[in-house]
Amino acid sequence: MNIFEQCESKVRSYCRNFPAVLHRAKGSIIYSESGEEYIDFFAGAGALNYGHNHDYIKQKVMSYLDADGIAHGLDMYTSAKEKFLVKFNEIILNTKQLDYRIQFCGPTGTNAVEAALKLARKIKKRPGIFSFMGAYHGMTLGSLSITGNTAIRSGAIGTSNSVTFMPYPYGFMESFDTIEFMESVLNDVNSGIEKPAAIIFETVQAEGGIIVAPIEWIQRLRKLCDKHEILLICDDIQVGCGRTGSFFSFERADIVPDMIVLSKSISGYGFPMSLLLIKPELDIWEPGEHTGTFRGNQLAFVGGTAALEYRESSNLEQDVKVKESFLKHFLIENIAPINENIKIRGIGMIWGIDVANFGNSSFAKELTSRCFELGLIIETVGRNDTVIKILPPLTIEMATLQKGCLIIKQAFEDCLSK
Ligand code: PMP
């Protein structure tokens, strides 16, 4: 471990919570260099919805490499990109009757968020953006300016950038009509808040603590944007690509955003890829106006196409429903009864155990450390890291899912008996 501590910057984070040298991984299991086995309830922070080294996707990537397929292509036309575009249009956009232009950004999610902000401001010729309290959109200056977490914002002075944080329906704000509040702000010429170019939102705040927006709230948000001619941007980086069941997380509310940001699991294999979907009439970019060297990771196109083919040939959506039901029942029946202050929240295959009002302030961290000792990789999110986030690959075998859940239960028992 010494070499990492000696050479790597202090900024390193996840490795501090999981102090093992990881070496190999298959499906939902990660193996360390020293031979330990860990069940993965973290899934690369949502980049590994299909698990590690998925057989079908791997085989497609290997044959592409084997045939000396082009590896780096900026935004040139390539056959790997062509196949991805055809498949994405065919099985995602066309079947859902959605019409979007696809902008490849890169290489990670935050860059597509930056593109969305730039484009919205360019279209509306207004600087303002509404984001939500608890939101997470990335770490570069634009995306950080719309991220709520004060601890991470403090590292980048001067992030305010015409952003107003509106209340998300959570905690006290659940009993408060947050849409009506935005409506009154927009109608009040003396509110001191200018009409924004766009409102950016997550249908489930993942880093924010697994807060699931009600369907009606999402629908009213869409209507509010229509009424005031504000663009609606859905950040589906973490909970898109099937995490909540349907491919896009907003499908449950039957709305159509003006722009959608996708990344993480879109490449199917953990390769970096991020894209912005833009309604055709909003695609007013000049050529090269938002550019970058790594916008065409060809392996990501190959992996992404294979992942879509796999989706098409499998029952993934149905599978997620079955696992959602298992997770919900397990957590309600086995974890919630431990204490009345424990809150369970979630949808699809993203669930949170909120222990903010239970145990000491570092109880969630103690739990995840104990889980790690017992062979489970799982992270904390939310205000002051007080929510345990269950985020396994969607493809996890039922037996492994059950085993991981029993480890969480065991960790509660162990930490409480201390
Ligand atoms: N938006 C959301 C909702 C996210 O969860 C993340 C990553 N956790 C990002 C944006 C930023 O993506 P990246 O880390 O790939 O830049």
Q: What is the CATH number of the domain that holds 326?
A: 3.90.1150.10
112 shares its domain with 216: yes
CA of 101 relative to ligand 1 center, distance in Å: 21
To test the pocket of ligand 1, the residue of 143, 204, 211, 263 to mutate (highest count of ligand atoms within 8 Å of its CB) is: 263
Q: Extract the tokens encoding 415.
A: 């930490």
Tens digits of residue pLDDT in 128-180: 999 999 999 999 999 999 999 988 887 776 667 799 999 999 988 888 999 99
Q: What is the pLDDT of residue 296?
A: 79
Q: Is 0.95 topped by the overall pTM?
A: yes
- 195 and 324, same domain (yes or no): no
Token code pair at residue 304? 């992404």
What was the pLDDT predicted at 150? 87
Q: Are residues 333 and 356 in the same domain?
A: yes
Same domain, 25 and 102: no
Query: Which of the residues in the chain have pLDDT under 50?
Result: none
Q: Print the domain residue range for 24.
A: 2-54+316-417
The phi, psi pair for 163, rounded to 5°, reads: -105, 135
Q: Looking at the 3D structure of the chain, how many domains does it have?
A: 2
pLDDT tens per residue across span 338-361 = 999 999 999 999 999 999 998 788
What pLDDT does residue 310 have?
Answer: 98
The pLDDT of residue 87: 98
Å from CA of 189 to ligand 1 middle: 34
The answer to whether residues 259 and 378 belong to one domain is: no
Task: Based on the fold, state whether residues 26 and 165 are members of the same structural domain.
Answer: no
Residues touching ligand 1 (Cβ under 6 Å) are: 45, 108-110, 113, 136-138, 202, 206-207, 235, 237-238, 263
Residue 139, token pair as written in the block:
């770490």
- Output the six-digit token pair for 133: 């309290």
pLDDT at 159: 65
Centroid of ligand 1 to alpha carbon of 231 (angstroms): 20
* Span from the CA of 196 to the centroid of ligand 1 (angstroms): 22
